[in-house]
Amino acid sequence: MAQLPDITISAEEFGKVAVLMGGDSAEREISLLSGQAVLESLQKSGVDAHAVDSQHDVLQQLANGGFNRVFIALHGRGGEDGQIQGALETLGLPYTGSGVLGSALSMDKLRCKQLWQSAELPTPAWHVLERREDLVKAIETMRFPLMIKPAREGSSIGMSKVDFAEHLDEAWVVARQYDDSVIAEEYVIGAEYTVAILDSIALPVIRLETPNTFYDFEAKYNATDTQYHCPCGLSDEAENKMQKLALRAFAAVEAKGWGRVDLMCNEKGEPWLIEVNTVPGLTSHSLVPMAAKAVGVDFNELVIRLLATSIDTESVQ
C-alpha cells in the first residue's frame, strides 16, 4: 500500500472550522453522531471547531459565523448529493471531501452505475422501477435474488433483499417511500467488502460479516454481532486488485479527498462495484476509522487528515 503523506498543517492554520451535521435527511441521527465525534476530536487537537446543525438557517449560520472552512459530516440528501457543496462554493468556504459533481454522481446510485458501465467497470445488472409495469419486466429479465433500493439514499435506508417474485411489489413500495427513483439490482452471492480511500490512497480492505439478511441499517449502526475483518482474508494479489478497482471507481465519478467504495465478491472471487460513499460515517461502528487504524492512523489523526482535504479545495473554488 502507498504511504500516506505527512500532515504539515498546524491546528491554527485551519482557522475557525464549522462542523456541519444533522440536517433533514433520513440519516440525521447518524450524522449527529458523526458530527459530534468529529467536533470533539478537532477540539482535542486544538482546532477552533464549532457545531453547525444544517437543519436551521444553515447558510445564514455559515455566512455570519466567521468560518474559514467547513468539515462536512452530513449524510444523505442535502449533505452528500452536491447541494451543500454548491452552496459552500457560492459562499467561498472551502470544505472537506468531494465537490459538487462527485457528490451528486456518487449519491445517485443509478447515474453512478450508468457511468461505471460506460467505463467498463464491473457492477451488477440492474433495472429501473418507475412504475408497476417495470416490476414485470424485472421479473422476466433479471435473476433473483434482487436488491431493491432507493436511488438516492444511504445507510441501506429503504433497501430490501427480494428472493422471490411475489415479494417484489412490497419491496418496491417500501423503497418508493424514500425516492421516486428505485432500482432493482441483481444480488451478488458472496462476501461483502469495503475500501476506504484517503488522499487518493486505498486503505486496507475490510470484509463485513453479519447474520442479518444483508448489511442493513441495523447491522451498520446497532448490532453487536456484526463482524469486521481486517486483514480481510484475501490474498495480497486479490486485495491489491480490489483496491485498484475501488480507486478507478472513485475517480470515475469525480469523487475526491476521502470516501469509501463498497463491493461484493461472487463465488468465483470476482469483485463487483456496489456504490460510493463520499461522506462515510464517523461513529463507533464506522469503517473508515477501522481501515485507518490498520495503518497506524488513530481517530484524531484521521479527522485532521480529513479536514486537510479542505485545504486542497481552496485552489479550485
Q: Which residues have a catalytic role annotated?
A: 27, 155, 221, 260, 262, 275, 277, 281
Half-sphere exposure in the Cβ direction for 6 (13 Å, CA) = 2
Residue appearing with cell numbers 481517530: 299
Query: CA torsion 216→219→107→20, rounded to 10°?
Result: 140
Distance CA 11, CA 169 (A): 53
Q: Which cell is 295 given?
A: 495503518
- Decide if 186 contacts 175 (C-beta within 8 A): no
Q: Which cell is 87 given?
A: 452552496
Q: Which cell is 249 given?
A: 471507481
With 0-12 / 13-18 / 19 or more C-beta atoms within 10 angstroms meaning exposed / middle / buried, residue 189 is exposed
